[in-house]
Amino acid sequence: MAVLDDLSGFEFEDVMEDVFRNLGYENVRQAERTADEGRDILMEEVVDGTRRGVVVECKHTDTVGRPVVQKLHSAVATFEFDGPKRGMVATTGRFTGPAEEYADRLRKNDDPYPVELIDGEDLREIADEIGLDLYNGRIEILCDMTLRPYDPAASVNAPVEAAFRDVENIEAAELPEPYSRAVFRPVVEITADTDAVFETSVGVIHRINERTRFVVHADRGQPSVADDTVARLVSENRHAAVELDTDRFGDVFDELEEKRFGQTQTEYKDWAVDRLQEHHTTTVQYTGDNNVTYTKTCEPNLSDISVQSIEPVYLPEVWQTTDLQQYTYPYEYFAAGPSRVTTEDGIHRCVHCDTSGGDETYTYCANCGSISCTDHIKAERLEGEPVCTGCAVTERFALKTKYFYDEDNRDTFREQYEAMPIHRKAMENKPLLVGSIITAVLFVIGVLATSGAI
């Protein structure tokens, strides 16, 4: 069976770096390629609480003999690591009998630097475990875990009820059941180290030693970095992820959709490395030995960037829409159990002018179902309850516009108004009444002053 035949030796090392990372090894990185010292990948593992260094030789050949194993054994012995260490040879082919005998003897003799052998058959088993496509060298993303789409300790409608809580003139008990749709969107959390030193004849002019962690939207199309609030939601809740059980969630939501990861894990790794290379590229100035100022662009090599982990998980995006008479109110958010990041809040938005935000006061109009800002909500004259300017019937009384639920209410008030004594009619426009009184008082004062009475 031809396995990974189209890959070069270096490309095979790239694939194996991803393989070991997916198998749970830590701090996986490739050794410098300037010279073959018998080690291609360096990594660490924790066994029974003890951290151990692992030196890996990758051989993209049909047969690996004893000299390769012996050379790696020596490389492990000279590898600087504070703790126990061991070696590993990984090949797409097979090992000769002497190579296997040498590795077996190291193990039986309790050698401090044992060497494990992984051949093509082993790789096939590993491939099934981690989703490695042996023919193109890419690792597919195998993920069945999701952040919780709702708080299991509360109703799935709790976010909508909470959003309506500060809307005046409506109670949660009056709300109809919202229509709910959950879309499970793939994301990956990537952790990468960049370690680069830039030197000239005058010494080190720039250094990068930084760990970067970011969350990437990973559905179809170009990957995009999630904003800080979404990234924090994923990072803080990924440990509490649960199995993506569509049957279970289907009993809670009216509609479910599961998006696919748009690219392979290998492609996300390459994308992240390219992005970090561009991010860390900078121009610096330094003074040479001749006191001349020079400018140099410092761009880290791809080998300076080591992806430590690529953790996939589904991020639920929940759409809930509430129908209130003539209006529909959408409320959308990314969910992680009781935590969420709101992406659209149609509840705190005036239907008449699109004023939105938490600083405004919003009031529900029971007459038509609208939610309005203070500029578009009035007190209904007959009943004193809120009515929006969009549905109200209006008429001017005492030079002031009055608002009514409907024509019947308006006609009823007309009759009441006609029967009012003059002082009650005047009270229907208090600012006008107060202004008239002040004007009259000033007039009297003026007359008295002119006549000399005061």
| Count of beta carbons in the 10 Å neighbourhood of residue 119 | 19
> Which of the residue ranges 211-220, 351-360, 405-414 would you say has the lowest mean pLDDT?
351-360
- Residue 282: Cβ within 10 Å count: 13
Give the range among 22-26, 36-40, 41-45 with minimum mean pLDDT: 36-40
Residue that terminates a domain, selected from 139, 161, 192: 139
pLDDT of amino acid 138:
82
Q: Give the sign of the dihedral formed by CA 402, CA 407, CA 413, CA 414.
A: positive
d(CA 114, CA 87): 6
Instruction: Give the CATH number for residue 57.
Output: 3.40.1350.10
Strands (E), 158-235: 179-200, 203-217, 224-225
Give the end of a domain, one of 86, 105, 139.
Answer: 139
Is 118 a member of any domain?
yes
pLDDT at 2 (0 to 100): 44
Task: Look up residue 450 and give its two tokens.
Answer: 């002119």
Percent with pLDDT over 90 in the chain: 70
DSSP calls for 332-387? EEEEETTEEEEEEESSSB-TTT--BSTTS--EE-TTT--EE-GGGEEE-TTT--EE
pLDDT at 448: 62
User: Is 442 inside a domain boundary?
Assistant: no
Residue 70 CA to residue 79 CA, distance in Å, equals 14
The arithmetic mean of pLDDT across residues 208-218, rounded, is 96
Mean pLDDT of the chain: 90
Backbone angles phi, psi at 276, to 5 degrees: -70, -35
**Would you say residue 169 lies in a domain?**
no
Task: Decide if 180 contacts 320 (C-beta within 8 A).
Answer: yes
Q: Please name the residues in contact with 415: beta carbons below 8 A apart, sequence gap of 6 or more.
A: none
Name the pLDDT band for 279 (thresholds 50, 70, 90). very high
pLDDT tens per residue, range 364-390? 999 999 999 999 999 999 999 999 999
pLDDT at 8: 76
Region of 306 on the Ramachandran plot (φ > 0 left; ψ -120 to 50 alpha; else beta): beta
Alpha carbon separation from 366 to 160, 171, 189, 272, 324 (Å, rounded): 18, 11, 46, 52, 9
Element (H, E) at 435: helix 430-451
C-beta of residue 383 within 8 angstroms of C-beta of residue 404: no
Instruction: Answer yes or no: pTM beyond 0.75.
Output: yes
In a domain? residue 199: no
User: Residue 354 pLDDT more than 70?
Assistant: yes
Both tokens of 170, joined, read 């409506």
Do residues 425 and 417 make contact, with C-beta atoms less than 8 angstroms apart? yes
pLDDT grade for 128, boundaries at 50, 70 and 90: confident
What does the pLDDT average to over 7-13?
79
In the chain, the number of structural domains is 2
Q: What domain range includes position 406?
A: 377-436
- The number of beta carbons lying within 10 Å of the beta carbon of residue 242 is 16
Q: pLDDT category, 452, cuts 50, 70, 90? A: low
Residue 37 lies in a domain: yes
**Is 297 among the domain residues?**
no
% of the chain residues with pLDDT over 70: 91
3-state percent breakdown (helix, strand, coil) of the chain, nearest 5: 30, 35, 35
Q: What is the pLDDT of residue 1?
A: 35
Alpha-carbon separation of residue 18 from 14, 42, 43, 193, 261 (angstroms): 7, 12, 12, 15, 17
Confirm if 334 and 315 have CB atoms less than 8 A apart: yes
pLDDT of residue 431: 67
Residues 94-101 have a mean pLDDT of: 95
Inside any domain, residue 393: yes
| Residue that terminates a domain, selected from 69, 104, 139 | 139
Half-sphere exposure of 238 (CA within 13 A, CB side): 17
In a domain, 226, yes or no: no
pLDDT at position 415, please? 94
